[in-house]
């Protein structure tokens, strides 16, 4: 062990030992998060993207501590925060760019994880470009590769590989690819699904090749039921988009089975946002929701900002704005994927995935 690595090596070993011995409160030593606005905790605040894919203004954040708009597309914490909270942290690790801006603590902080997710981005490189967003999933993984370089520089390759193999990698992407395909009036065809899936496979393989082993994948919700989509069908869901999301779920499940049989020591868990959301919409009161069609902030066509209309009881709404779930919905999804049964998370739940000891 080269001497220059010592402090970091010890730090990583300690965090892994603490997790293994259940002394600390966290289930994994670090969490790395990739995807779109459902996971974004402020990435877009640092990017010259269009206003439509920003959320660093009120009413966003109205239920966040100090009612602070943070860039989360939510009234409070989002799904990334809520899952990571169940792993024993306070909330999601900060955005890569927030960490980079705080250079004195960058090296220490990246050892606990990084959030790369960016609103408006998708699986395809081209998704998001209309909003001037270049942070596609591929680009996020490129940034992760530089972070891995930074960790390796600090800790040496062995400790870096150990850290990554024990860490959780959360990925949630694909909805924006569908929305943009619809916007360009191109069909949600089998070819499009194949293209999305093969690109997704390449991305997941890249993460594996960089050292990721535990993949927590969240699939596309019934996107045709979000308020903006409903506005094209007299407040009913768009069936085409939903059918595509259903096929995407099936294909992703098959893809993950294949990848885990090809890549040694790869473990995964697939969170079925599609099924869960349909279940909620089928019986909203059972989940405490009274409004599953309308946005709480703004409406189907206007964005959520300070001049938009705001609902009274935010916890009774499935949707915060025309695209995104409320914090209440995020809590429900996180609880279901983390500790739920086989029904909406397979083959194991996120908590079981986190506890797998990969050697």
Q: Catalytic: 261?
A: no
The footprint of ligand NAG on this chain (CB under 6 A) covers a number of residues equal to 36
Residue 150 engages ligand NAG in binding (rule: CB under 6 A): yes
Residue 16, sorted as left (phi over 0), alpha (psi -120 to 50) or beta, turns out to be alpha
**What is the DSSP code (8-state) at residue 325?**
B
Residues 315-344 that bind ligand NAG (CB under 6 A): 339, 341-342
Q: Catalytic: 37?
A: yes
Residue 309 engages ligand NAG in binding (rule: CB under 6 A): no
Residue 303 engages ligand NAG in binding (rule: CB under 6 A): yes
State how far the Cα of 70 lies from the Cα of 58, in Å rounded to an integer.
9
Residue 246 engages ligand NAG in binding (rule: CB under 6 A): yes
Residue 302 engages ligand NAG in binding (rule: CB under 6 A): yes
Minimum CB distance to ligand NAG smaller for 163 or for 315? 163
Joined tokens for residue 293: 């069609």
Q: Cβ 234 to ligand NAG, closest distance in Å? A: 7
Residue 192 engages ligand NAG in binding (rule: CB under 6 A): no
State how far the Cα of 268 lies from the Cα of 251, in Å rounded to an integer.
15
Q: Catalytic: 235?
A: no
Single out the residue of 45, 231, 257, 352 in contact with ligand NAG (rule: CB under 6 A): 352
Kindly write down the DSSP assignment for every residue of 78-96, as one continuous string: -HHHHHHHHTTSSSPPPBH
Residue 234, sorted as left (phi over 0), alpha (psi -120 to 50) or beta, turns out to be left
Q: Cβ 328 to ligand NAG, closest distance in Å? A: 20
Kindly write down the DSSP assignment for every residue of 4-70, as one continuous string: GGHHHHHHHHHHHHHHHTT-SS-SSS-EEEEESTTT-SSGGGGS---GGG---STTTTTTSGGG---
Single out the residue of 236, 262, 290, 313 in contact with ligand NAG (rule: CB under 6 A): 236
Of the residues 15, 37, 95, 136, only one is catalytic, namely 37
Q: Cβ 300 to ligand NAG, closest distance in Å? A: 11
Q: Cβ 61 to ligand NAG, closest distance in Å? A: 15
Q: Cβ 170 to ligand NAG, closest distance in Å? A: 16
Residue 109 engages ligand NAG in binding (rule: CB under 6 A): no
* Cβ atoms of 272 and 222 closer than 8 Å: no
Residue 357 engages ligand NAG in binding (rule: CB under 6 A): no
φ and ψ at 38, to 5 degrees? Answer: -70, -20
Q: Name the H helices within the chain.
A: 6-20, 79-86, 96-101, 103-109, 137-155, 157-166, 175-183, 190-210, 227-230, 239-262, 273-282, 327-339, 350-355
Q: Cβ 265 to ligand NAG, closest distance in Å? A: 5
Q: Cβ 114 to ligand NAG, closest distance in Å? A: 12
Residues 49-78 that bind ligand NAG (CB under 6 A): none
Single out the residue of 67, 132, 146, 262 in contact with ligand NAG (rule: CB under 6 A): 146
Single out the residue of 67, 189, 198, 307 in contact with ligand NAG (rule: CB under 6 A): 307
* Cβ atoms of 168 and 31 closer than 8 Å: yes
Exposed/middle/buried for residue 246 (C-beta within 10 Å: 0-12, 13-18, 19+): middle
Residue 142 engages ligand NAG in binding (rule: CB under 6 A): yes
Q: Say which residues have a Cβ less than 8 Å from residue 140's Cβ, sequence separation at least 6.
A: 34, 35, 116, 117, 118, 121
Residue with tokens 């220059």: 4
Residues that bind ligand NAG (CB under 6 A): 103, 106, 125, 138-139, 142, 146, 149-150, 233, 236, 238-240, 246-247, 250, 260, 265-267, 302-303, 305-308, 339, 341-342, 347-349, 351-352, 356
Which residues are identified as catalytic? 37, 321, 324
């Amino acid at each position: 062990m080269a001497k220059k690595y010592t402090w970091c090596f010890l730090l990583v070993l300690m965090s892994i030992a603490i997790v293994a011995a259940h002394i600390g409160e966290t289930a994994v030593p670090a969490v790395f998060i990739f995807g779109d606005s459902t996971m974004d905790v402020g990435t877009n605040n640092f990017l010259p993207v269009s206003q439509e894919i920003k959320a660093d203004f009120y009413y966003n954040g109205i239920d966040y501590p100090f009612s602070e708009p943070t860039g989360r597309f939510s009234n409070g914490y989002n799904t990334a925060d809520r899952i990571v909270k169940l792993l024993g942290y306070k909330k999601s690790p900060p955005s890569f760019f927030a960490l980079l801006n705080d250079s004195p603590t960058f090296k220490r902080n990246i050892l606990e994880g990084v959030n790369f997710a960016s609103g408006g981005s998708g699986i395809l490189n081209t998704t998001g470009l209309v909003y001037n967003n270049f942070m596609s999933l591929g680009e996020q993984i490129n940034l992760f590769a530089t972070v891995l370089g930074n960790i390796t520089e600090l800790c040496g390759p062995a400790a870096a590989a150990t850290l990554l193999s024990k860490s959780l990698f959360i990925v949630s992407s694909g909805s924006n690819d569908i929305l943009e395909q619809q916007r360009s009036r191109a069909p949600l065809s089998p070819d499009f699904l194949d293209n999305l899936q093969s690109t997704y496979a390449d991305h997941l393989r890249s993460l594996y090749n960089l050292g990721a082993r535990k993949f927590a994948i969240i699939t596309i919700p019934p996107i045709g039921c979000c308020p903006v989509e409903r506005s094209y069908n007299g407040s009913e869901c768009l069936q085409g988009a939903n059918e595509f999301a259903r096929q995407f779920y099936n294909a992703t499940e098959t893809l993950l089975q294949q990848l885990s049989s090809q890549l040694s020591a790869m473990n995964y868990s697939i969170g079925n946002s599609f099924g869960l959301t349909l279940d909620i919409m089928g019986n909203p009161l059972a989940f405490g929701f009274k409004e599953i069609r309308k946005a709480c902030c703004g409406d189907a066509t206007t964005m959520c900002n300070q001049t938009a209309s705001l609902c009274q009881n935010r916890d009774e709404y499935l949707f915060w704005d025309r695209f995104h779930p409320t914090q209440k919905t995020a809590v429900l999804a996180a609880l279901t994927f983390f500790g739920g049964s086989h029904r909406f998370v397979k083959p194991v739940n996120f908590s079981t995935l986190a506890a797998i000891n990969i050697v």
